[in-house]
Structure formats: structure tokens, C-alpha cells
Homo-oligomer: A and B are copies of this chain.
Amino acid sequence: MANKKLRIIPIGGLGEIGKNMTVLEYGRNMILVDCGVMFPESDMYGIDLVLPQFDYVVQNQDQLRGIVLTHGHMDHIGGLPYLMRQIKTTIYGTGLTIGMVKRQLEEGKVIQQANLQVVQEKSSFQLGPFKISLFPVAHSIPGSVGLVIDTPVGTVVHTGDYKLDETPAGGQTTDLKRLKKLTPNGVLALLADSTNADRPGRTPTERVVSDELDRLFAEAKNGRIIIATFASLLARLQEIINLAQKHGRKVALTGRSLVENVELARDLGYLKIPNGLLVDIDSRVPDKKLLILSTGSQGEPRSSLNRMAQGEHRQIQVKKGDTIIISGGTIPGNEEEVGRMLNKLFERGANVIYGKLANIHVSGHGSRDEMQIMLETVKPRYFIPVHGETRHLHLHARIAESMGMSSKNVFILNNGATWSSDGEKAWLDKPIPAVDVLVDGRLVGEVGAMVMQDRQRLSQDGFIVALIPVNSRNKLVGEPEIISRGFVQTNGSTDLLQAACKEIKQYFKHGTNVAHDNVRDMLQNFFFRETQSRPVVLPSIIRV
């Protein structure tokens, strides 16, 4: 009896945008929905990626019946190469999603751990006690689906990322009819995308973007067109390719992820490119017949567009007459990098179109009115907003409450929370550990809070290591030496460092307490007094 309950445990994606991952359990059966990564916030110094904490899944892998993926974006699949180092299982997804996962797992050298299963966008399949049925959703990558999961105690709906665009790129709308048909007996719990819960109204249709691009292409006249977008916005890429064809331009690609994604999506039939349209980046196509599709909408230092901005791109020199279009929103935290890149592109004489200057980007996530329609369609007994920072979850919850849901039936959860239900009541059991796991180069999880604090401090004021040679009676037996980086300019600061050495000598002459911590405090006080800065101070007392 104790096992006759459903448990839903978000391991990632709550209180954050990224690393989406949810556990569903019934008895001794577990499935996962998605397994994403998060890109680090700008105060996560030196961190390449953030993973969900996999411990609970790894410990219970004998109960795992499979992983179901909603779509092929990194915040939904990017954790798999790391998880699959530790487990073996079957992974289910639509064609493009599985294609992208396959490439990821091959690069991570863990492909042999996974049994990859392609499922159709309107299929159903059974994983232990869970019956999974997919319904197509409109999002910025083809093959995106939401999930209806029938469990012994009731039906759970997980929207994945979606919007209710009625004229989306690629034509795939969110199939609310199928969703309705799949849930004839009502829905126990809805987990729904909260990303845009602070945007009023509806997200504009992708149609707006293609109309605007059409207009801009016509205005570009005899110059080249260079468009930067996310390599993963495959629906947008299809629009751009169609428009290039219409305007008689060949398309050249630059940027590794873009080239790879286009090839993959084309091979799998998700991207339709007329023969002869794609040309090599080195081809001698006249400017007025050329469109260059590039990565770098976020100003990433090594991206193609940023290399063009810096004058470091091997094949492309930006020049007067070029029209450069940034067709991708700026992810919070990237504003300064994007701004610097734009400045450089303008300096090179290009006509750069970005941000509010034209309607060249729309979000792939639904806004507040769409969230309301989803809630009306599903009419869940319980509602768990997912995919969002805390503010988005709260605002999404309030939409539900404003529609008459009792706040007792709306659960704003943290990662690791264990939502449990017997099909009637719902409650929270003891949470599981679900913290951020930081990836730094080859180090996974080894860089913790203390290192991050040190990096923060080092970034502000640098460090001072003081080498102090003493004899067994703690008397100085030579000149102290100071090693420093990131504190003050070495040239201009010789006086300061000499004064510090003098201070050390004084201290060892008079000081009776020459324990490491006392020497450190003495030096910290000295430097703060002199500069009002607090470098990391590490005395090294060397006994000779």
C-alpha cells in the first residue's frame, strides 16, 4: 500500500532557467523526463557548465525504465553525456531529438551505454506502469513534444517547452486537441513551462519574424546579408533558407555547431534545403547573391560573428555594404558581450540590425495568455509550474490562482522536492539532494563553494603570498619575499610591497605571536589600511 503512490521529483529546472530534469516514480519504477544542462551565471567564475545532481538516479538505476525527451535543446538533453557515464538505459525521443542525442553521446564516448529509440510525434508507449503519449508542440526546434503520462493513480501532463503560435516556422502547432483527447478522465497534475510568466499577452508568431526578414532582405540590395542566430533555432533556420531562395541568394554557413546541426537536421528530413542552395564559405558568389548564416548571436568570444567583429575570421571580412542581422534574443547576462560585438561590427561599416530596431526575434516560449489557455485546456487538479526562476514560478502560479485554483493545489517547488500523490491527496515527502554540479574543464563536481568564493575574492583584489624564512626560534633569517598577482601594478607598487616587507620584519622583531593566522591578519590589516582593498593574503613561513 505504501508504494501505491506517485512521486514527482524535479531534479533541475526549478528556480532556474536550464538543466531541466524530472523524475517520476511509482512503486519500484522510475522514469526521467529530460536531462539538461545549464549555462553558468556570470558569477560562476571559470565554470563551463552546470549539471543536475544525478546521485538519486544513479543510486536507483535498477528501477529506471527509461528516459523520455521532449526536444533536442541543450537545456533538455545536454546532461546525458554525463549521466550516461554512470548508467545504462533506453532513451526515447522524436527523430531530430534522438539524432542530436546520438551526436552528443558519441562525442562523450558513451554511446554504447544508451539504447536510443526514435518515437513518432503522436505515438504512445509503455514504460513499466507509465503509459507515455506524446503530443506535438510549437517551439523553436522541430520535433518538440509535450507528454501525457498515464500512471496508476492518474494522468500527469508535462508540457515541455511550448508556445501556442498558430503560424509557427515549420508549421508545427501545439496540438491541444490531441492533448484533450489523451486526457478523457481529467488530469491529476500539470507541469508547465514558466519561462515567460512575466510577459503579458501572447508571444508574437514566428510569422512576424519571417515578414520582417523578407523586408530586410529586400533592403539589403547589392550587399551581403549576414545573419546570426542560435544554431539550435532550427525552425528559424528553415525560414531563413526559404527567404534566401526567394531572394535569389546562396547560403553559406559558418560556425561549427551550425554546420553540424544543419547537416543533421537535413539528413533526418527536418530541414528542407533545395539542392545547390548551400555553398562553401570560400565560394566566389557575388555579394548580392550571398547570405551568410552564422553562429554568435550571444557575442560568445570564439563564435563566428564575434571573430568577424574582431577581424579574426579566416574567410569573412565585414565591410561597408554588409547587412548584419542578429536574429536571436540576448540571454540575460550576455548583454555586455553582445554590445561590444555590435560596436565592433558598426566600426567596420556594416549596417547592423539588432534588438528593437526590427522585429527579428520572438521567443520560443508562450507568454501569460498562452499559459492561461494551457491551464484551461488541461484543468488539472494539481499544478506544478516548472522551467523557470522562482519569480516565474510564482507568477505562473498566480495565473492559475486568478483562474480559481486553490493555492493549496498549486505547488511551487524547489529542485529535489518530492511531490507525492495517491490520486486524491497530494503532499510533499522528504526532499532528495539536488544541488548544482559544476563542470570546470575535466573536473565534474570537484569545484565547490569554497573554490568559487576564492575565485570571487581573487577576481576582486588578487593575492599576496609572503615567503618568510625563519629559524627554529621564529627569528627571520633572510629577506621576506612577496609574490603577488592581480593586486596592484607591479611597477607602481614596488614601494607598497617593500613597505609590506618592512612591516613583516618589524613584526618578527617585536611580535611574540608569529603563528600563521596572526601573520596573515597583520598583513591583511596592513594592505587594507594602505589600499582599502582585501587581497587574499597567504603567508608562508619557511623554516630553514
Report yes or no: B483 in contact with A346, Cβ–Cβ below 8 A. no
Write out the residue numbers on chain B whose beta carbons fall within 8 Å of the beta carbon of A332. Answer: 335-336, 339
Report yes or no: A443 in contact with B533, Cβ–Cβ below 8 A. yes
Write out the residue numbers on chain B whose beta carbons fall within 8 Å of the beta carbon of A344. Answer: 390
Tell me how far the C-beta of A177 lies from the nearest C-beta in chain B, rounded to whole angstroms: 31
- A7-59 residues with Cβ-Cβ distance < 8 A to B are 15, 41-43, 45-46
Report yes or no: B347 in contact with A488, Cβ–Cβ below 8 A. no
Report yes or no: A15 in contact with B343, Cβ–Cβ below 8 A. yes
Report yes or no: A41 in contact with B336, Cβ–Cβ below 8 A. yes
Write out the residue numbers on chain B whose beta carbons fall within 8 Å of the beta carbon of A356. Answer: 198-200
Docked Cα-Cα span, A395 to B458, in Å, equals: 39
Among A104-112, A253-261, A420-428, A460-468, the stretch that binds chain B is A460-468
Instruction: Tell me, yes or no, whether A311 is within 8 Å of chain B by CB.
Output: no
Write out the residue numbers on chain B whose beta carbons fall within 8 Å of the beta carbon of A346. Answer: 390-391, 394-395
Instruction: Tell me, yes or no, whether A280 is within 8 Å of chain B by CB.
Output: no
Q: Would A463 and B458 be within 8 Å (CB), given that A198-B354, A486-B451 are in contact? A: yes
Instruction: Tell me, yes or no, whether A489 is within 8 Å of chain B by CB.
Output: yes
Cβ-closest chain B residue relative to A201? B356
Instruction: Tell me, yes or no, whether A440 is within 8 Å of chain B by CB.
Output: yes
Write out the residue numbers on chain B whose beta carbons fall within 8 Å of the beta carbon of A533. Answer: 46, 440-443
Residue in B15, B41, B43, B455 whose CB lies within 8 Å of A460: B455
Among A69-77, A116-124, A216-224, A536-544, the stretch that binds chain B is A536-544
Report yes or no: A450 in contact with B391, Cβ–Cβ below 8 A. no
Docked Cα-Cα span, A343 to B469, in Å, equals: 51
Report yes or no: B462 in contact with A465, Cβ–Cβ below 8 A. no
Write the A399-436 contact mask toward B (1 if CB under 8 angstroms, else 0).
00000000000000000000000000000000000000
Instruction: Tell me, yes or no, whether A234 is within 8 Å of chain B by CB.
Output: no
Cβ-closest chain B residue relative to A538? B483
Report yes or no: A489 in contact with B450, Cβ–Cβ below 8 A. yes
Write the A217-245 contact mask toward B (1 if CB under 8 angstroms, else 0).
00000000000000000000000000000
Instruction: Tell me, yes or no, whether A1 is within 8 Å of chain B by CB.
Output: no
Report yes or no: A462 in contact with B451, Cβ–Cβ below 8 A. yes
Docked Cα-Cα span, A448 to B493, in Å, equals: 11
Write out the residue numbers on chain B whose beta carbons fall within 8 Å of the beta carbon of A489. Answer: 446-448, 450-451
Q: What would 28 A/B residue contacts be, using CB atoms closer than 8 Å?
A: A42-B42, A43-B336, A45-B486, A46-B459, A46-B461, A198-B356, A200-B357, A333-B335, A335-B335, A344-B390, A346-B391, A346-B395, A347-B390, A357-B395, A441-B532, A442-B533, A443-B488, A446-B492, A447-B489, A448-B489, A451-B487, A455-B459, A455-B486, A456-B459, A458-B485, A467-B540, A483-B538, A483-B540
Q: A440-B461, A446-B488, A465-B540 are in contact. List 19 more A-B contacts (CB 8 A).
A: A45-B460, A199-B356, A332-B336, A332-B339, A339-B391, A344-B390, A346-B394, A357-B395, A440-B533, A442-B532, A443-B533, A446-B492, A451-B462, A455-B460, A455-B462, A458-B459, A481-B540, A542-B542, A544-B544
